[in-house]
Structure 1
Amino acid sequence: MKWKLTRRFLGSVVTIVVIVGLVNAILLFSLLVFRTMYNFDAEEESMENFSRTFSQYVELQDDKPIVNEKGLEKLQELKAWVQILNKKGEQVAAFYTPSNLKTEYSPIEIVQMYKYKEIDTETTVFIGETDGFSYFVGVKDQGIGRYVLTYDYAKIFKNINILLLLFLIVDIIIALVIGLLFGKRLTTPLYILVEGIQQLRERRFKKMAIPKGVYEDVFRNMNELSVKLDQYEKERDHLDRMREEWISNVSHDMKTPLASIHGYAELMKDSGTDLTPQELHEYTTIINRQSLYMKDLLDDLNLTMRLRNQQLPLQFEDVDIVVFLREMTIELLNDSPFGERQIEFQANVDKAVHKVDKKLLKRAILNFIYNALVHNDENVLVTIRIDNIYPHCGQEQKSGNISTAPVFHTQITIADNGRGIPSKDLEQVFERYYRGTNTANTHGTGLGMAIARDIILAHNGKLDLTSVENKGTSITILL
C-alpha cells in the first residue's frame, strides 16, 4: 500500500513534467519558425532597411550620382557616411566618408567590406544599389553589428532532437528525485493512516504518533476516535456480559415458578380425587402466587423498555410530596413484613407540591426503601427525609424591577445504616441488566433499580447514590 501510493504520486508528477516539457518545446519551435518566416520583430527604421532604401535619396546630375538634401540630413542624423561606386568598383561620389577610406575596390574587397568590419571595430558597413551604381553606407555605432552564420538544416534538426531528448531525460530525472523525496514525505503519513484504519477495523485500538505538518489534526482525530471506540468496545462487552447474566437470572426466575406451576398442576391432575380440600387450596395458592410473580416479571420487562424508549405516557397531577411520603411510611409500617422494622420519616418542610405521576413515583421510592429493608439486617434503620434546597441561598430572584419568589428544589433522601454497597458495584446498580451479587437475597428480576431511575428521570429529576461499606447507603432524589 505504501509503495502503491508513492508510485501514483510519482506517476502524476512525471506525467505533468513531460507534458509541460513537450508543450514548451513545441511552443518554442513554433515561435522560432514564425519569427524566421515573418521577421515580426524587425523595425522599419533599422539600418539594414535604411541602407537598402537609401537609393531614394540618390539623384543623377550629368550622369553622376549625388545625394539630395534630405538624404544628407538623414546621414548626419544617423552619423553615417555613403560612398558610391561604379561598375568597376571606382568611387564616383562620397559624402561624410572618413579620410582613410579606399576609393577603388575589387569584387572580393566589396564582399569583405560587407561581411566584416574592415574600417574599424566601431563601424558597420551596409551595401545597396541604384541606377547601375553600388554604394556603401557606413555607420559608426557600437550598438549596431552584423553576424554571419553558416548552418546545415539536417544537423540543426538533429542537434535540436538530441537537445530536446537530453532536456526530457534531465526533467524526468529531476521529477523522479523531487517526487521521491516529496512523495515519501507526503505518502508515509497516509500509509500510517491506512494502517491505523485497518487496525480499527480489526478492533485493535492503538494510538499513533502525531507528526508535525498538514496531517497533525488528522492523526489527533484518529487517536481520539481510537480512544472512544476502545471505550465503546469495553462498554459493549460489559453490557453484553451483564445482559447474558441478566438473561440467565431471568431465565432461572422464570423456570422456578414454571416448574412449581407445572409440578403442582401435574399433581392435581394425577391425584385430583385423592386431595383434601386443604391440600387443593394450598396447591392452587402456590400456583396463583407463582403466576403472579411471572406476571410481575413480564410487567417489569415491559415497563423498563417503555421507560427507556420514552413510550410510556405519564399521568401528571399536583401532589403534596410531604403528605405523599408520610402516607407511604404509614402504609409500610402497617405492612406485616415490615411492621416491626425501624422506619423514620422526617419532614423539614410543611408543604411541597409538584406535578408527578403518583403511581410511578410511589413505585420508584418504594423500590429504594424495599432495597434498604430487604438487603440489610432486620435491625437496620431506614430514614426518609424531605427538605427544600435553595440554589440561590434563599435570596429572591429579580426580573427587571420585579422581585419573584425564591426558586427551590424538593430533596428526598432515603438513607440506611446497613452494610453498604461495594465500590466496584456502585456504577452498575442502576443498570438494567445488573442483578446484585453483594447480598445473599437474590430474589427479583434485577430491573427494580433501573425502573426507579428511569421514573425519576422521566420526572426531570436528578438521582444520586452514595454508599460506604459497613456504614450505609444514601439515595438522594431532587425534584
Structure 2
Amino acid sequence: MKLEARLSLRFLIGMIVILVIVIGVLFISAGLIQYFYMDQATKKESTSLSKQLDQDIKRIKSQTVLVGNTIHLTRGTANWLRKEEYTLQIINNQGKVIYSFQPLDQMSKHYTAGDLLTLREQSKKRGIYISIWSDQVSKNRLIWILAKHDKNHPAYLLHKLVEKVKWKGNQLTLPPNPLKDLVKQSGWLQVFDEEGKVIYRYQGPQAKWMNLSLGDLTHQLLYENLIYLEEKHGQQSYTWVLQPDKHKEIENSKNDPFHFVSAMFIACIVLIVLIYLFAKNLSRPIWFVMDWIQQLAKGHYQIPEPLTSGSGKKKNQIFHEVFQSLTFLSESLSDLEEERKRLEQAREEWLAGVSHDLKSPLSSIQGYADLYTSKKYQWTREEINEYLELVKQKTERVYQLIDDLNITFRLNNHALPLQQTPVNVAKLLESIVFDTMKNKGAHITLKSISSYTIMYLLDEQWFHRAIQNLIENAVVHNPPETNIEVNLMMIQGEGGALGFRITIRDDGKGISPDILSRLFERYVHGSKSRHSSGLGMSIAKQLIEIQGGRIEVRSEVGIGTEFEVTFQPVIEKVTNIETS
C-alpha cells in the first residue's frame, strides 16, 4: 500500500476511533451526570420535606398545652394542620396516644420504641415522611408524631389511583389518564387477589408474574423493589403492585439544559485531548523526518537512534518508504563524505608530491646552471655534456608532470579530441615495448599472434599513451630484476567482427588490496616512489574507456600484477585483416 493510502487509512481509522470514544464518553457522562443529578435531586427533595417537618413539629410543640391528660391546640393550629394536610399524634411517656389529628391507617393508638421506628420506615416506602420529636410539657415527657404525604411519590399516586377505582362485581375499572401518568412507558400495574391470581393488568411484565402463590408474591414484593398497596373491597383483599417507570426521571430531566451542557462540555474536553494525542502521534514521524533532514543539511549523516531499534521500526511502519529513502540518502552522503575526505587527503598528498617532483628537477637545473655560470671553475666538455644530459632528463620529468596535469584536466572536462584511424595494434604494441625497454632498461617479453595484422579504429597517440603508462607502471614500481610479459590476443566475434585483448603481467611485488581497490583513482601512488605523478593509472583507464575499451587489474602481494585491456569485437571498427 502506498504512503498516501496508508496515511489516509490511518487518519480515517483514527477519526472513527475518536468519534466512537467521544460518543461513548458523551453517553457515559450524560448518564453519570443524570444519575448524580437525580440522586441529589431526590435527596434534596426528601431533605427539604424532612427539614420542613422538623421545623413544623417544633412549632406545634410550642403551641401544645397539657391539662391533666388532655392536649389542647389553638384553633389556628388545627386549621393550619388541615391546610398543610398534616397528620399529628401526641403520645405520653407510656406510649399511649393522647391526641390524634387525621391519623393514617397504619397508625396505632399505642406505641413502643420499635413501633415508632417501624412506622417511620414503612411509611417512607409509601411516600409518607414522618418526623418524631420528644420534649417536656408541664414536666411531662411527650412524643410528637408529624406525618405528611409526598404527593410526587409513586406510592402516594397509587393510593390516589385506588381511590378512583370503580368496581362492578369482581371487575374493576380505572380512569385512563391518571393510570397513564402513573405508569408511563416502561412501568406496569397489576392487581392480585388473595390467591395470587391477576385480576387486572396494565402493561404487564413477563409470564412469571401472571399467577403467583402467596409465598412467591411476598418474596417478589420484598426483593423486586416494587411498590404495593393492600386494599379491601367487600370481603376480598386485593394487592396492588406497581413498577414505576424507570425512564420517568430521565424524561423529566431531558428538558434540563444543565445535563446537555455538562455532557457536551465533557465530550468536547475529551475530543480536544484525543485530537491532540492523535495529531501528536501522527505528526511525530513528520517532525522526526524534518529533524533528520536538518541534521543532513548540517553535515551529520548518522542514522538517528530511534530508527535503529526494533520498536522504532515497528512504530513507524507507516512511513517506512520515507525512512528507507532517508536511510539510503544518509548512507550515500556518509559514503560520499568519506570518499571526499579520502580524495582530499589523496589530493593534498599528491600536491605535496607533485610540488616535490617539480621542485627537485628545477632545483637540479638551477644548481647545474649556477655551477656552469660560476667563474671559479673551468668545466671540461665531457662534464658539460654530462650535466646537460641530467638537465635534459629533469626537464623531461617536468614536462611529463605538466602533460599529465593537462591530460587529466581535459579528460575531466570532456575536452580531449579523438582522431580515430585504423591502427595496426601489433606494430604499435611492439613499438611501445621496445621504446620502454630502451628508455627504462627493463626486461620485457612480447608475445603476440604474428599470423594476423589487426587493424582497429583507435586514436594512436592516446592509445600509445595509455599502454605506455601501464607498462611503465610495471617497470617503475617493481625491482629491476622483475620480468614483464606483454601479450596480444585476437578476439573473434559473430559476423566476422574482431577485437583484441592486451595483457601486461609481471612477477613483481604486487599491489596491496587497499591500493588495488582505488588504483585507477586520481592522486593514488602505487608505491612510495615519487617516479610517478599519481595520475598515470587514472589517465590510462580514461584514455582506454573513451575509445570503447575496458581495463581490469588483478594482483597479489608477493606474486605479481596483471593488467588486461580489452576491445570487444566490432565490425565497424575493423577496417582490414591481412595475412602476413
Change (3 A) 1:424 1:120: closer
Aligned residues: 320
1:189 aligns with 2:285: yes
What residue identity is the alignment partner of 1:466?
Answer: R
Change (3 A) 1:231 1:298: same
Matched residue, 2:303: 206
Distance in 2 of aligned mates of 1:336 and 1:305: 27
Change (3 A) 1:238 1:165: same
CA contact (8 A) 1:346 1:383 kept: no
1:298 aligns with 2:402: yes
1:446 aligns with 2:534: yes
Q: Deviations over 1:320-356 (max 9, x none)?
A: 21232234334445x1542x72423222761322110
Change (3 A) 1:221 1:352: same
Change (3 A) 1:381 1:202: closer
Matched residue, 2:455: 353
1:254 aligns with 2:358: yes
Matched residue, 2:465: 363
Matched residue, 2:475: 373
CA contact (8 A) 2:449 2:490 kept: no
Which consecutive unaligned segments of at least 5 residues does structure 2 have? 1-10, 20-174, 181-254, 568-580
CA contact (8 A) 2:421 2:458 kept: yes
Matched residue, 1:461: 549
Change (3 A) 1:477 1:290: same
Matched residue, 2:413: 309
Q: Could you say which structure has the larger radius of gyration?
A: 2
Q: Give the TM-score taking structure 1 as reference length.
A: 0.59
1:429 aligns with 2:526: no
Matched residue, 2:502: 412
Matched position secondary structure for 1:351: strand
Change (3 A) 1:264 1:181: same
Change (3 A) 1:279 1:164: farther
What residue identity is the alignment partner of 1:462?
Answer: R
Distance in 1 of aligned mates of 2:520 and 2:440: 25
Q: Deviations over 1:156-202 (max 9, x none)?
A: xx976x67754663343132222133123212222322332343234
What residue identity is the alignment partner of 2:562?
Answer: S
Distance in 2 of aligned mates of 1:204 and 1:332: 48
Matched position secondary structure for 1:433: coil
CA contact (8 A) 2:433 2:444 kept: no
Matched residue, 1:155: none
Per-residue deviation at 1:266?
3.2
Change (3 A) 1:327 1:277: closer
1:175 aligns with 2:271: yes
CA contact (8 A) 1:342 1:379 kept: no
Per-residue deviation at 1:273?
7.7
Change (3 A) 1:196 1:350: same
Change (3 A) 1:286 1:251: same
Q: Deviations over 1:203-252 (max 9, x none)?
A: 24125243444312111111111111111111111111111110110111
Which consecutive unaligned segments of at least 5 residues does structure 1 have? 1-8, 18-115, 122-157, 397-404
CA contact (8 A) 2:368 2:391 kept: yes
Between the two structures, name the one with larger relative contact order (CA 8 Å, sep ≥ 6): 1
Distance in 2 of aligned mates of 1:385 and 1:295: 30
Matched position secondary structure for 2:489: strand
Distance in 1 of aligned mates of 2:428 and 2:360: 36
What residue identity is the alignment partner of 1:470?
Answer: G
Change (3 A) 1:252 1:228: same
Matched residue, 1:319: 423
What residue identity is the alignment partner of 1:353?
Answer: M
Distance in 2 of aligned mates of 1:223 and 1:444: 40
Q: Deviations over 1:252-286 (max 9, x none)?
A: 11111222233333334443885455544444444
Per-residue deviation at 1:446?
1.4
Matched position secondary structure for 1:428: coil
Change (3 A) 1:175 1:406: farther
CA contact (8 A) 1:349 1:386 kept: no
Matched position secondary structure for 1:230: helix
Q: Provide the alpha-carbon RMSD of the alignment.
A: 3.6
Matched position secondary structure for 2:452: coil
Distance in 2 of aligned mates of 1:430 and 1:118: 107
Distance in 2 of aligned mates of 1:205 and 1:349: 61
Per-residue deviation at 1:407?
4.1
1:386 aligns with 2:488: yes
Matched residue, 2:340: 236
CA contact (8 A) 1:349 1:387 kept: no
